[in-house]
């Protein structure tokens, strides 16, 4: 459950928003599903993980663990900020009601009927395998999103293994502290130096907890783009579906034109059960053929209008989608560059702390 302060209302005539709101994770899922269906050409920001992935042994995989819940809360706030900063999504009325209304916003979502617009998985699968002329740019983007997801997954797995080993190495340094302390008890001249060096070792061993907690923050930034990969694929799938519908409409129109020509000329170009039946049981009367031709001509005209409409819709989708994909790429490059630099700076800082600890220990030994 996430609690946040509602935004100030800028519009006249609207009731004053409540001071703060409570939202469950499932409500965030509903909002995101609505945005994905309503804005198929947009790379909709992803939600943080519902259950922890890529954990190292010190972290709990329990989705009710307080540390994980707090990290997820930060991720959900980041999702809201991503949507609020998007030039199109930020203007959505449902999103505004999600931020400002305690109750009733779910009813508003359901009244939009967005679930009916959602494409079935079977249809999406058909489109993937049966599109004859896929757009090369979207095909490449789909492949890129798969590769991006794969490489970030691998990076997060490596990071989890390193965290495990680093934690062990640091904690073992605590044994130095215990040994130096025990040793100091039997030494007179060396005792104080050993005791002080042991204290520095204890501080070093304890410092790893804060270090790895900070690392989790950078891991979560990488995870966001792990989930963004699926958002990219969703846009590609929507384009495949539109292309599939366009090709099916063109195929249906071609078939109707052929039927019309065959009826008008009385010549059957291709084998069909219907054609064989007419040969076996007699030809249709001129009046019947004329009536069928008239119906087909109306259907052809309707089909041509529909095909024209689908072509325009497809061109608009590609233009809008590619503009948003370019915006996303710029955001991705900036965010990942910043996260990796920050991670490197943190590692440098960690190494400097290690050097300082051993420098302090050296001074303790020198004074003995």
**What whole-number distance in Å separates Cα of residue 105 and Cα of residue 30?**
11
Query: pTM, whole model, 2 decimals?
Result: 0.83
Q: For 343, what's the count of Cα atoms within 13 Å in the CB-facing half-sphere?
A: 18
* Long-range contact pairs involving 226-229 (C-beta distance under 8 Å, separation at least 24): 226/149, 226/152, 226/153, 226/156, 227/46, 227/47, 227/48, 227/49, 228/43, 228/45, 228/46, 228/328, 228/332, 229/145, 229/146, 229/148, 229/149, 229/152
DSSP secondary structure string, 334-350? HHHHHHHHHHHHHHHHH
- Structural domain boundaries of the chain? 23-38+48-113, 135-264+299-367
Q: Give, in words, the CATH class of 135-264+299-367.
A: mainly alpha
Per-residue model confidence as pLDDT tens for the chain (368 residues): 555 554 444 444 444 455 678 888 999 999 999 999 999 999 999 999 887 776 766 665 556 678 888 888 999 999 999 999 999 999 999 999 999 887 788 889 988 888 888 877 777 777 777 888 889 999 999 999 999 999 999 999 999 999 999 999 999 999 999 999 999 999 989 999 999 999 999 999 999 999 998 898 999 999 999 999 999 999 999 999 999 888 889 999 888 888 888 777 766 555 454 554 555 445 667 777 778 888 888 888 998 999 999 999 999 999 999 999 999 999 999 999 999 999 999 999 999 999 999 999 999 999 99
Q: Could you tell me the fold of the domain covering 23-38+48-113? A: PX Domain (3.30.1520)
Contacts of 325 by beta carbon, 8 Å cutoff, 6+ apart: 43, 141, 232, 235
Which phi and psi angles does 174 have, rounded to 5°? Answer: -60, -25
DSSP state of 112: T
């Amino acid at each position: 459950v996430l609690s946040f302060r509602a935004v100030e209302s800028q519009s006249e005539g609207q009731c004053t928003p409540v001071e703060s709101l409570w939202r469950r994770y499932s409500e965030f899922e509903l909002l995101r599903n609505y945005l994905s269906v309503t804005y198929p050409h947009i790379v909709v920001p992803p939600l943080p993980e519902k259950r922890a992935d890529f954990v190292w042994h010190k972290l709990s995989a329990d989705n009710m663990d307080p540390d994980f819940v707090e990290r997820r809360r930060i991720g959900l706030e980041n999702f809201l900020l991503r949507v609020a900063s998007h030039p199109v999504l930020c203007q959505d009325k449902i999103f505004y009601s999600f931020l400002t209304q305690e109750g009733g916003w779910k009813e508003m979502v359901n009244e939009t009927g967005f679930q009916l617009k959602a494409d079935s998985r079977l249809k999406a699968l058909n489109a993937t395998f049966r599109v004859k002329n896929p757009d090369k740019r979207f095909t490449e983007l789909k492949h890129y999103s798969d590769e991006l997801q794969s490489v970030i997954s691998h990076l997060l797995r490596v990071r989890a293994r390193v965290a495990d080993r680093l934690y062990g190495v640091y904690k073992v340094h605590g044994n130095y502290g215990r040994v130096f302390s025990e040793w100091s008890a039997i030494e007179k001249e060396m005792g104080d130096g050993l005791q002080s060096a042991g204290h520095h070792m204890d501080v070093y061993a304890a410092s790893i907890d804060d270090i790895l907690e900070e690392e989790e923050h950078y891991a979560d930034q990488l995870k966001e783009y792990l989930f963004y990969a699926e958002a990219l694929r969703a846009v590609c799938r929507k384009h495949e579906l539109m292309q599939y519908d366009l090709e099916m409409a063109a195929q249906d129109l071609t078939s109707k034109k052929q039927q019309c020509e065959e009826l008008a000329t009385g010549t059957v170009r291709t084998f069909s059960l219907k054609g064989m039946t007419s040969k076996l049981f007699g030809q249709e009367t001129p009046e019947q053929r004329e009536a069928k031709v008239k119906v087909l001509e109306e259907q052809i005209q309707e089909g041509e209008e529909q095909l024209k409409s689908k072509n325009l819709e497809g061109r608009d989708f590609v233009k809008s989608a590619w503009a948003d994909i370019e915006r996303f790429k710029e955001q991705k490059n900036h965010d990942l560059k910043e996260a990796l630099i920050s991670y490197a700076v943190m590692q440098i800082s960690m190494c400097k702390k290690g050097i300082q600890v051993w420098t302090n220990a050296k001074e303790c030994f020198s004074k003995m």
